[in-house]
Amino acid sequence: MKNPPDSVAHLDFVAGIPTLDLSHFTHGTPKQRTAFVQDLGAAYRSVGFAAISGHGVDPRVIEGMYSEAEAFFALPTETKLLHEHPEHNRQRGYVSFGTEHAKDSNAADLKEFWQVGQTHIPEGADMDNYPPNADVAERPALAPQADALYKSLEDVGRQMLRAIALHLELDEAYFEQYVPGGNSILRLIHYPPITSEPDSSVRAGQHEDINLITLLVGASADGLEVMDKEGAWTSVKALPEHLVVNVGDMLQRLTNHELKSTTHRVVNPPKELWGQPRFSMPFFCHPVPSMSLAALPQCVADGSAPKDPATTAGEYLSERLREIGLSQEK
């Protein structure tokens, strides 16, 4: 960002957003842990995004997932369509090109994707919230590879939420009652080469994420942009070893907008690069559906009303899936 807020001006902005080392929290000294919590809180209060190194995800798991994703999306369209599951609100399996759009937009995003959900389902959970993951006979390694990355990113998300809890002056394990076994989604996205003038569509229209936090594995090409408080766009150019981790709407609601769910988008490349595809792998960290998103008392000033009405994570997810064109529910 051209002029970072004073609260984060001391941080490294190599990626265009605040850059932090998670190992300082997970394996650092008490001083390093405290500094990480403070710096992460400052980043999420001002920018809503951070580039995270030291997360511990095995690069071989990431590389294997990219290899499998590229092979799957290279399959014939008629084969991929066999693995589409609208009956699960497209929360599992294949979602075809042009299905999803940003909230309040009629322009379909220029992407197709594959969705993977939780395999460690809590005992007694409502199975309507946990449809089965899809297998692909043509790519038998896809499911186990995705499950390995899912578990790795869920573990990182839990550590990030521990730091966020401490910043909010909650018990460090506050989110542990909600996130292990939560309704998180790993999405493997393919933005195909652009073959003709795309009118008003972009690879992903400006939006905010639905969940608590999103962990984005480094994309295969540039394009991610973040909107600052003045409405200007900043390009995010994270290094391959970074995870870009941002606040979602659920965490913004829980903190009464103290932590920012920042608008972002994926823009089309320059025309000379239209022939290049783009792949990315976001992990949308969701809690169990029953978690209340009512604003935390310490985030609501005395005598004030919360900015959002109380709801649950499951109710809010259902509402948003309808808004972006994935849900068949009315």
Which strands, in side-by-side order, build the sheet including 185-191? Answer: 19-21, 49-53, 243-247, 213-217, 278-285, 185-191, 112-116, 93-95
Residue 199 pLDDT:
63
Residue 193 pLDDT:
81
Residue 228 pLDDT:
81
Residue 173 pLDDT:
97
Could you give the CA distance from residue 162 to residue 83 in angstroms, rounded to a whole number?
A: 36
pLDDT less than 70: residues of the chain = 1-9, 11-15, 101-107, 195-196, 198-204, 219-222, 326-330
Residue 238 pLDDT:
75
**30: CB partners within 8 A, 6+ apart:** none
Beta carbons of 112 and 96 less than 8 angstroms apart: yes
Beta carbons of 249 and 316 less than 8 angstroms apart: yes
Strand 19-21 to 49-53 pairing: parallel
81, amino acid identity: L
**Complete domains list, the chain, with CATH:** 6-323 (2.60.120.330)
Could you give the CA distance from residue 77 to residue 73 in angstroms, rounded to a whole number?
A: 8
Helices assigned H by DSSP within 47-104? 59-73, 77-81
Residue 88 pLDDT:
85
Reduce the secondary structure of 256-322 to three states and give it as a string: CCCCCCCCEEECCCCHHHCCCCEEEEEEEECCCCCCECCCCHHHCCCCCCCCCCCCEHHHHHHHHHH
Residue 121 pLDDT:
87
Residue 1 pLDDT:
47
Reduce the secondary structure of 119-134 to three states and give it as a string: CCCCCCCCHHHCCCCC
